Structure 1
């Protein structure tokens, strides 16, 4: 069980966190939310938390979702603690298998879910009005567009959607918005194909022991469509 952040810290305890890097006030909204959780849901789920603390997590489903704050898988699927193993990144992308010795957060989470947790399902869940996808479309049609904010990571990350874009021709009279919405769906299929480049996924999927799924969530209407 994690420590209650509202409790007084032991003044004799040594912290490994540099105090000059910590803001003086923890966000009040988070503390209020924790208090609501502690008084409401925690008593209802206490036995479950204690059982998982003792025996570990055993989720059967991994969800790869966008880090957009509007599309929390735990909320959308009304999940209990321990039911879903979730990894979130910009535009819910899955990189192809590339054991190059570099740092790969999504790939590491995927490997852990499949080989250690032995999940039975992997769901790639996209969503409408995805900022990453729309920014990619604007930048691809206007290289001077600064939709993908300048930086060291986001532009390179979003190039993973290029194969999906190359496979999706534009329709006559189609707006950038409508094309981006279609591209978000096509990108899910591309991510599923990339999942199969991982040997552990490919082998278990071929044996019927691991199922791959796509889903699209409409943030305006709150409707989930399985693909």
Structure 2
């Protein structure tokens, strides 16, 4: 591969800063993590969006979360003979090998992937309708959520509602995985749906008893 280049200087400087401070002061802990393997308590499925910083939101240390990120924090339905195996493989590993106690789907405000789905499903993003669009075919997972939106609501309200539907669709799809359902029904693992707003510093969780998202 002759197109790869060395890291930008600012990233190299940041690495050396981390190694001289955080790593140097806690190297026994880092070495234990490396030698003992990972034993995360929870898996978090979040969006690729650079503004969603899972470890910062929860003040997590290394080794605490098994994190998988994709466009719009979606989980496809269980399709062993189909496609979209990247997310499915991560879920399988977290549940069957790492034995996580919690599986969290974290949605967020101002999600570009969700807006793309909204635009595509409303006929305003023809490029995403093309079979060659990776984003469009991935966002097809969220079409059932779009169909639940109130057509009379304002667009901002519809987008927020669809961001939360992305969490619910993913939770429903997770329960189509036999090993997820088995772990949940055996009370060995719990599912959680969250939605966060970076700008407002807000976090909401889905409460089945209230049929909606409420502040934590």
The two structures share one fold, judged by TM-score above 0.5:
yes
Corresponding residue of 2:101: 120
Question: Within 5 Å, which residues of 2 pair with 1:72-221?
Answer: 72-100=53-81, 102=83, 104-144=85-125, 146=127, 151-170=132-151, 172=152, 174-221=153-200
State the SS of the aligned residue for 2:62: coil
State the SS of the aligned residue for 2:26: helix
Q: Deviations over 1:6-63 (max 9, x none)?
A: xxxxxxxxxxxx3x1212x412222122122112211233122111211100001000
State the SS of the aligned residue for 1:40: helix
| Number of residue pairs matched by the alignment | 206
State the SS of the aligned residue for 2:106: strand
Distance apart, 1:144 and its partner CA: 4.7
Question: Is the Cα–Cα contact under 8 Å of residues 59 and 82 in structure 1 kept in the other structure?
Answer: yes
Supply the distance in 2 between the matched residues of 1:194 and 1:169 (Cα, whole angstroms).
22
- Rg larger in structure: 1
What runs of 5+ residues in structure 2 fail to find an aligned partner? 207-216
State the SS of the aligned residue for 1:21: coil
Tell me the TM-score normalised to structure 1 length.
0.84
Runs of 4+ in 1 over 3 A off after TM superposition: 143-152
What runs of 5+ residues in structure 1 fail to find an aligned partner? 1-17
Question: Is the Cα–Cα contact under 8 Å of residues 134 and 177 in structure 1 kept in the other structure?
Answer: no
Distance apart, 1:98 and its partner CA: 0.6
Distance apart, 1:132 and its partner CA: 0.6
Corresponding residue of 1:52: 33
Corresponding residue of 2:209: none
Distance 1:78 1:148, change over 3 A: farther
Question: Is the Cα–Cα contact under 8 Å of residues 128 and 136 in structure 2 kept in the other structure?
Answer: no
